[in-house]
Structure 1
Amino acid sequence: MQRIAVNPGSVEWSGENPGIYLKSDPDKDYSVVAVFFRIVLSPHGRGVGAVILGAPASASAYPDVPNMCLTDNRPMMEYLVANFVSKFPTFAGQKGLDSMSWHDVTDSKQDNRNMPHSFSEELLSDAVRLQMTWKGIKAPMAVEVGPEASATKAHDMYAVFAEATDACITINGTNLPGQVATRQFFGQTMSTAFLALSETWVTPL
């Protein structure tokens, strides 16, 4: 089929969206699911944010359990959670997503000096210091999918993905439990830790 140079659909958002999914037991469900956003274009402007579910099935929030959202642009993150994160298969139906606490980010830092060996994002709020680190980053690959294959089943999605062989999440200096596992990702067996760069979501006509 001939490729179309310009997608006539509506661009919803664009930016970076790396993730880390961890398992304490490789034969059980994820013990931690987390995604980070560094948005350059959205209906609510730019910003950074992260959704961390350290107890995905628990209808509880931080500080009782590490279920939280940190952001410097709450309308943007509310839009992303409602229309995208809640539809991602790893997050869909998780009680922790509806119950998580919200924290205003006062500072954010990105460390990409050691790419491709490691990459990290840090968000600070009054109560939480969050660090997400990806290690052993492999060669990137370009992904272009339509609604039938995208995570929301409603959008075209374009991105550059880079698999990480290891990753960790710390909250106030304490590591969340679990290890990186594997999953099927667009027909390939890949790590559950990944960078997603230049990611753009489009509502097709």
Structure 2
Amino acid sequence: MNNAPSPIHPGRVDWTGDNPGIYLKDEQDGPWTGLATFFRIAYSPYGMGSGVLLLDQPDVAQGLPAVRNFCISDNETLARFLVDKFFSKFASFRVSSGLGAISYLQATEVSRAGDTRSRYQEIVKSNEFEVVMTWESLGAPYAVDMPVESGPTKEHQMYSLFLDAQDAQVTVNGRRLRGKVVERDFAGTRKSTAFLAFSETWMQGQAPGRPL
């Protein structure tokens, strides 16, 4: 009898897609000075969609027009789901009071440019803003299988392909967000705060064969 666990995860798929990020600080041990995470979702309970969550001043609990803390997307229902249930639990956004005050804007264009082997860009536009995220000096890809107890939501197993960038920048209408790429704690290692995350899938519950 074959007692091997099934290779099929029995949990619900909450979403799958791409979710690269750029998190910036002035100094390694200082506060976050600029945060941006892009999303391109292939499946979710709220359909497909793309966009960017951006905090120009992460520690300021205000949105537009006072502060450029906003989310641009082509599916606002999906964007709010991601912010409320996932991004708000990510370590960098969880400590940032600006997240609770973001403005939601309609995307007019979403595109990408470059090459994931060297220099890559995601570009998101609304009527008022153009956000350009640029990753440079990309490293070798590595796969991540994040168990429930180690992940940010404590409810999902996450699978993804990552590529770290040695340098990165985010611009809003041509102006760079303050800060530079530093290191972060990730899965028991030290990784860049600028990274590409492709084929990211969030599954409810523990995979078969994993200890609880």
Question: What TM-score results when the alignment is normalised by the length of structure 2?
Answer: 0.92
Partner of 2:51: 49
Query: How far apart are residue 27 of structure 1 and its match?
Result: 2.7
Instruction: Determine the C-alpha separation between the residues in 2 that align with 1:62 and 1:168.
Output: 22
Q: Which runs of 5+ in 1 are unaligned?
A: none
Query: How far apart are residue 162 of structure 1 and its match?
Result: 0.7
Task: Classify the secondary structure of the residue corresponding to 2:149.
Answer: coil
Partner of 2:209: none
Which residue, out of 36, 39, 57, partners 1:37? 39
Which residue, out of 10, 15, 18, partners 2:17? 15
Q: Which runs of 5+ in 2 are unaligned?
A: 207-212
Task: Classify the secondary structure of the residue corresponding to 2:98.
Answer: helix
Partner of 1:109: 111
Query: How far apart are residue 3 of structure 1 and its match?
Result: 5.7
Instruction: Determine the C-alpha separation between the residues in 1 that align with 2:154 and 2:64.
Output: 31
The amino acid of 2:45's aligned partner reads P
Instruction: Determine the C-alpha separation between the residues in 2 that align with 1:38 and 1:147.
Output: 23
Task: Classify the secondary structure of the residue corresponding to 1:62.
Answer: coil
Task: Classify the secondary structure of the residue corresponding to 1:166.
Answer: strand
- Asked whether 1:131 is paired with 2:159, we answer no
Partner of 1:171: 172
Task: Classify the secondary structure of the residue corresponding to 1:148.
Answer: helix
Task: Assess if the C-alpha contact under 8 Å between 2:27 and 2:182 holds in 1.
Answer: no
- Structure 1 pair 143/3, CA: closer, same or farther in 2 (3 Å)? farther
Larger Rg: 2
Partner of 2:75: 73
Deviation by residue 1:85-139 (Cα, 9 ceiling, x = unmatched): 1111111142211111111001111113x33111100011111111001111101
Task: Classify the secondary structure of the residue corresponding to 1:91.
Answer: helix
The amino acid of 1:25's aligned partner reads E
Instruction: Determine the C-alpha separation between the residues in 1 that align with 2:63 and 2:12.
Output: 34
Instruction: Determine the C-alpha separation between the residues in 1 that align with 2:196 and 2:58.
Output: 21
Task: Classify the secondary structure of the residue corresponding to 2:99.
Answer: helix
**Structure 1: which 4+ aligned runs deviate by more than 4 Å?**
none
Partner of 2:205: 204
Instruction: Determine the C-alpha separation between the residues in 2 that align with 1:79 and 1:93.
Output: 19
Question: What TM-score results when the alignment is normalised by the length of structure 1?
Answer: 0.95
Query: How far apart are residue 64 of structure 1 and its match?
Result: 2.1
Give the number of aligned pairs.
Answer: 204
- Coordinate RMSD, CA, aligned: 1.5
